[in-house]
Chain A
Amino acid sequence: MSTLDQLAQSELATGENRASAIADATHRAHVRRRLLLTTPALIVLFCAASGPLLIMLIYSFLSAGDYGGVEWTLSWDGWANVFMQRDIFDGTLSIADAHVSILWRSVKLSLLTTFTALVFGFPTAYFIATRPPRTRNLWLFLITIPFWTNLLIRTFAIMEVIRNQGVINTILKSLELIDEPIQMLFTDFAIMIGMTYVYLPLMVLPIYASMEKLDFRLVEAGYDLYATRFRVLRRIILPLVKPGVVAGSILVFIPSLGAYVTPRLLGGGKNMMLGNLIELQFGQGRNWPLGAALSFSLLIIVMAALLIYVRGVGKPESGHD
């Protein structure tokens, strides 16, 4: 007698129910199997990903300890300090200019990065997708390599190029175009260039994925119906690969917004982004609740961006163009 039968036997009230008991037992065995398979991964992810987020959420509502850590008393200061600051002398609240400017820089630089990556990434993805299958893999490979190479090393490489004694300034000097090196490192521009460089593959790959599925007979039909090259691009190709463009933009925007290494190395101490501001609260700032609240603020912006993505790509044929 098989295991299934034994399982069925346990709740075998009458003979007529045997078939459905077997069907139920099979179903339960199936459910148990998939639970056993998924649970270990979910436990690890809960311990070292979702769980800590929940704890941090609690921390954002506690008061800061004097030497880091928290006091276990309820407080809104963490969240209030995201945008406001309390005057040390008279205790009045005012807008925290430093935080607002850092937030603004983060959003501005992330949008600029996304835009620049799109300007370079879209034609590149198009180029790869229109290669013959044999060479296409090679081009794809060339995009994939930087995708998986160390972010730190690539940021370092950019640092070396734009330093005052770096490649660009050396070349410009030797051509006698400039006398003094142009200060590029430690500026917002450097952060933007660095992030574009680092995250560009994240733009190209999803656009390529959409573009690869593009049926070029539709493009032919466009030309056949008197569309110019630009109009074919604008009216046929772009709407069809829109999900890829949106996905790529989100994939570049999210890590840009939370970037930590790139602004730290290329922006120096004063051109901080959100990631650096958060770190500060757990280091010199010693304000864990503020750090936690800032982290959640960042998370909220990211979630909003993801929601737009889901809404936008979920129903790509929205009718209007």
Chain B
Amino acid sequence: MGMGGMSTRKDSPAAVEANGVSKIFGDGSDKVVALDDVSVTIKQNEFFTLLGPSGCGKTTLLRLIAGFDHPNNGNILLEGDDISGLPPYQRQVNTVFQNYALFPHMTVAGNIAFGLEMLDKPRNEIDATVANMLKLVRMEELRDRQTSQISGGQQQRVALARALAPHPKVLLLDEPLSALDLKLRKEMQIELKRLQNETGITFIFVTHDQEEALTMSDRIAVMSNGNILQIGSPREIYDHPAERFVANFIGETNFLTADLVLAKNKAGKIKLSSGKTIAATLPDNHAANGKVTAVVRPEHARIVKPGTSAALEGRLDNIVYFGTDTHYHVKLGAEGDFIVRMQNSRDDAGKFAAGSKVGIAIDSNAAQVLRD
């Protein structure tokens, strides 16, 4: 890093760079590998999300960046500088905690001012920044309240303002919305996105909620068992999952076993168990031929009359009505169930009856082959 001097650093360095970071908790039989040789680069001004189930290591990675824990291996760079040896209070990184961790013995304004006071900023600058922050999170009228006297959503805003006030290089958010109810959570998602745009600060957001990740992020890293499985934009992650875990964790998916009959760069053709051949997208550098697993999202298929346009055929097992759309569960025989999700329109009630034989048409390029 930095070996090439100023010329290669023409564009600003990455906001955060983790190189081969490992974290092991406990020892002997209690040993838990929380992070296993993880490397990731987070760009400046990016809304970056670490997504995964609990215990996947996402919070550990966040705590390592913040400096609350120290990696057993590897290093972490903040805007190009190695911060591995710095205690949290010397890292220009702030955290919004899952439970907010607001100081109960201080007012709203006192909480927001705390970081600036610790940095020994002059009083007038502190007052101005606090006023700005209160305005930014729309909490001006509550500045002198005790933090125990405000609602959960308001506490969330104070926690955000407190972390943003020292203008950190990176803001870390550890499942900050998980304690809020659904309606408030939706509001805060929009609010967070707005704050990120207005402040231009890099956000690293940790969540286990796939919908939250898809709606807010510029890029998502999907994590499992201490590893990053895939990094990409929400669209890439959703439409082109590279691994079974990613496909399964995000949204509903149908898995199909097939034979890869043609591979040309990322485009390929697969032969399904029904004997029909359809176009499919391949992961990078995929081997030419052989058995593969392909995924098709339920909304990328349609129920049709059995016949030529159908890629698959089966018996319609169950029809579940959801208001905006209907889910059709089709029994494919040996391959199990295939779920099709179709938007409802006024006149398709009773078009297909449970128990009847139906065909499934798959949208062009909807099939994605997994890296196995």
Contacts of B87 in A (CB 8 A): 2-4
Is the beta-carbon distance between B86 and A19 smaller than 8 angstroms?
A: no
Q: Do the beta carbons of B70 and A18 come within 8 Å of each other?
A: no
Contacts of B85 in A (CB 8 A): 1-2, 4-5, 8, 18, 22
Chain B residues closer than 8 Å to A1, beta-carbon distance: 85
**B204 CB → nearest A CB, Å:** 20
In the complex, A8→B70 CA distance in Å?
Answer: 12
User: Does B73 interact with chain A (Cβ within 8 Å)?
Assistant: yes
Interface size class of B (residues with CB under 8 A): 10 to 19
Is there an interface contact between A26 and B75, defined as CB atoms closer than 8 Å?
no
Give the number of residues in A that approach B within 8 Å (Cβ atoms).
Answer: 13
CB < 8 Å neighbour of A2 from B71, B73, B90: B90
Assess whether A172 is interfacial by the CB under 8 Å rule: no
Bound-state Cα–Cα, A2 to B90, Å: 8
User: Of all chain B residues, which has the CB nearest A20?
Assistant: B72
Contacting residues, chain B, for A22 (C-beta < 8 A):
70, 84-85
Q: How far is the CA of A23 from the CA of B70 in the complex (A)?
A: 5
**Chain A residue contacts of B86, Cβ below 8 A:** 2, 4-5
Contact A18 B75 (CB under 8 A): yes
Closest chain A residue, CB of each to CB of B73: A19
Q: Is B168 an interface residue (CB 8 A)?
A: no
Kindly state whether residue B110 has any CB partner on chain A within 8 Å.
no
Interface of A (DSSP majority class): helix
Closest to A8 in B: B85
Q: Counting CB contacts under 8 A, is B283 at the interface?
A: no
A 10-35 to B, binary, CB cutoff 8 A, 1 in contact else 0:
00000010111011001000000000
The verdict on B74 contacting chain A, using a C-beta distance below 8 Å, is: yes
Given A2-B85, A4-B85, A5-B85; A19-B90 close (CB under 8 Å)? no
In the complex, what's the smallest C-beta–C-beta distance from B82 to chain A, in angstroms? Answer: 9
A77 to B6, CA, bound (A): 88
1/0 per residue, CB under 8 A from A, across B68-96: the answer is 00111111000000001111001000000
Residues 200-238 of A at the B interface (beta carbon under 8 Å): none
Determine how close the nearest CB of chain B comes to the CB of A12; give it in whole angstroms.
10
Cα separation A5 to B84 with both chains bound (whole Å): 9
CA gap between A18 and B84 in the complex, in Å: 9
Across-interface contacts of A3 in B (CB, < 8 A): 87
- Closest chain A residue, CB of each to CB of B70: A23
- Among B21, B70, B72, max chain A CB count under 10 A is at B70
Which listed residue, A2, A5, A8, A23, touches B72 by the CB 8 Å rule? A23
Q: Could you say which residues of chain A place their CB within 8 Å of the CB of B70?
A: 19, 22-23, 26
In the assembled complex, the Cα of A17 lies from the Cα of B74 at a distance in Å of 9
Q: How far is the CB of B219 from chain A (nearest CB, A)?
A: 26
Q: With CB as the reference atom, state the residue of chain A lying closest to B89.
A: A2
In the bound complex, CA of A4 to CA of B90 (Å): 11
Known: A2-B85, A5-B85. A20 touches B73 (CB 8 A): yes
Q: B33-73: which residues lie under 8 A (CB-CB) from chain A?
A: 70-73
A54-86 at interface with B (beta carbon < 8 Å):
none
Which A residues touch B71, using CB under 8 A? 19, 23
From residue 259 to 290 of chain B, which have CB atoms closer than 8 A to chain A? none
What 1/0 flags go to B131-153 for Cβ under 8 Å of A? 00000000000000000000000
Q: How far is the CA of A8 from the CA of B84 in the complex (A)?
A: 11
Which residues of the partner chain A approach B21 to less than 8 Å between Cβ atoms? Answer: 19
Within the assembled complex, what's the spacing in Å between the Cα atoms of A18 and B85? 9
Within the complex, what minimum Cβ distance (angstroms) separates B134 from chain A?
33
Q: Bound state CA distance, A142 and B158, in angstroms?
A: 42
**How many Å lie between the Cα of A182 and that of B88 in the bound state?**
75
CA–CA, A3 to B90, complex, Å?
A: 11
CB-defined contacts of B73 to chain A, threshold 8 Å: 16, 19-20
Report the Cα distance A133→B357, complex, angstroms.
65
Chain A: CB-nearest residue to B76: A19
Hey, which chain B residues are within 8 Å of A19, CB to CB? Answer: 21, 70-75, 84
Give min CB distance, B359 to chain A, whole Å. 54
User: Among B21, B72, B84, which residue has the most Cβ atoms of chain A within 10 A?
Assistant: B84
Measured CB to CB, the closest approach of chain A to B98, in angstroms, equals: 23
Give A20 to B72 CA distance when docked, in angstroms.
5
B residues within 8 A CB of A2?
A: 85-87, 90
CA distance A23 to B69 in the complex (A): 8
Closest B residue by C-beta to A16: B73
CB closest chain-B residue, reference A6: B85
When distances are taken between beta carbons in the complex, the residues of chain A under 8 Å from B72 are: 19-20, 23
With a cutoff of 8 Å between Cβ atoms, the chain B residues found around residue A5 in the complex are 85-86
A20 to B74, CA, bound (A): 9
- Whole-angstrom distance between the alpha carbons of A74 and B85 in the complex? 59
In the complex, 14 of the A-B residue pairs with CB atoms within 8 angstroms, ordered by the A residue number, are A1-B85, A2-B85, A2-B86, A2-B90, A4-B85, A5-B86, A18-B75, A19-B70, A19-B71, A19-B84, A22-B84, A22-B85, A23-B72, A26-B70
Known A-B contacts: A18-B75, A19-B74. Give 20 more (CB < 8 A): A1-B85, A2-B86, A2-B87, A2-B90, A3-B87, A4-B85, A4-B86, A5-B85, A8-B85, A18-B84, A19-B21, A19-B72, A19-B73, A19-B75, A19-B84, A20-B72, A20-B73, A22-B70, A22-B84, A23-B72
Closest 7 CB pairs of A and B: A5-B85, A23-B70, A19-B71, A19-B73, A22-B70, A26-B70, A20-B72
